[in-house]
Amino acid sequence: MNIVILGGTGFIGRNLVNMLSSEEYSVKVPTRNREKNKKFLVYPGLQLVQCNIHNQDELVSVTRDCDILINLVGILNERGFKGKGFEAVHSNLARTILYVCKVNNIRRVLHMSALNANSSGPSFYLRTKGDAESYMHTYGERFTNITTFRPSVVFGKGDGLINRFSNLINFIPFYFPLACANTKFSPIYVRDLSYFIINCIDNVDSYQKRYNLCGPKVYTLQEIVELVIHFKKRKTKVIPLTDNLSKLQAYTMQLLPGKPFSIDNYNSCKIDSIGNSDYDFYTELESVIPGFIER
């Protein structure tokens, strides 16, 4: 079976590719920059293809012999401020994906969304993720078998959560001002999530389903950062910011290169990323962080 993984070079994609390479699949990963991602070629049989996936013709060509398409493309921040970037990467890409599935008769699609994704959510991120998901299921279910994954925040080696705070603490070692400190998350381990996705590939019961996926424990953002500090063996003190100061921090930091924190992130944090998980996962942050955190 031929699998194409869009966004396969990212954090979750790397884990998935790693696990899939031991299975009997032929995996193709389109990327915007083949040169930068050449390390992927260590996986036997993996094809890494330079491609603009937003271009219908290019994506049709790259997915011509594809049986299963996995979409992991997503962004937490856009270049501008008006939501156009989110729209392009989330909702418009969903349309392009369904178009190529129809043209190439691809009968299996696994789509990565996010917990709280909703067309009327509080942020561009959640709204465009919600639009993408609705579109996938409303139109896609007519001609392909779709499964959508809606995880809370995902952790593991190379993630954007633990590693981001670990790096920030290196720069701000004494008093750490934390925005949205009370927002709650149910972090899910990337390997658990990847196993779940792989097990869904052939599972007919997962067709046309959307799964809310949460880890075994709920933590506030402050508790997560304090765990990072604990495992880094630092004495950094977390200073939770008020709502107004959190917003001010977001306004300021979104002007920095790479937008380490933005108003859109702040808006996403207005709702807790927790809920009833449709599957039980057991790996806790505490058991995994020590294995990959940089001290």
Which span sits near ligand NAP by CB under 6 A: 30-38, 55-63, 237-245, 257-265? 30-38
Which span sits near ligand NAP by CB under 6 A: 67-75, 102-110, 133-141, 169-177? 67-75
Is residue 32 at the binding interface for ligand NAP, with CB under 6 A as the rule? Answer: yes
3-state secondary structure the chain: CEEEEECCCCHHHHHHHHHHCCCCCEEEEEECCCCCCHHHHHCCCCEEEECCCCCHHHHHHHCCCCCEEEECCCCCCCCCCCCHHHHHHHHHHHHHHHHHHHHHCCCEEEEECCCCCCCCCCCHHHHHHHHHHHHHHHHHCCCCEEEEEEECCEECCCCCCHHHHHHHHHHCCCEEEECCCCCEECCEEHHHHHHHHHHHHCCHHHCCEEEEECCCCCEEHHHHHHHHHHHCCCCCEEEECCHHHHHHHHHHHCCCCCCCCCHHHHHHCCCCECCCCCCCCCCCHHHHHHHHCCC
Least Å distance, CB 194 to ligand NAP, is 10
Least Å distance, CB 9 to ligand NAP, is 4
Q: Site for ligand NAP (CB under 6 A): how many residues?
A: 22
Is residue 166 at the binding interface for ligand NAP, with CB under 6 A as the rule? Answer: no
Residue (89 or 229) nearer to ligand NAP, CB: 89
Least Å distance, CB 172 to ligand NAP, is 22
Is residue 140 at the binding interface for ligand NAP, with CB under 6 A as the rule? Answer: no
Is residue 31 at the binding interface for ligand NAP, with CB under 6 A as the rule? Answer: yes
Least Å distance, CB 237 to ligand NAP, is 26
The single residue among 46, 73, 197, 285 that binds ligand NAP, judged by CB under 6 A, is 73
Is residue 160 at the binding interface for ligand NAP, with CB under 6 A as the rule? Answer: yes
Is residue 114 at the binding interface for ligand NAP, with CB under 6 A as the rule? Answer: yes
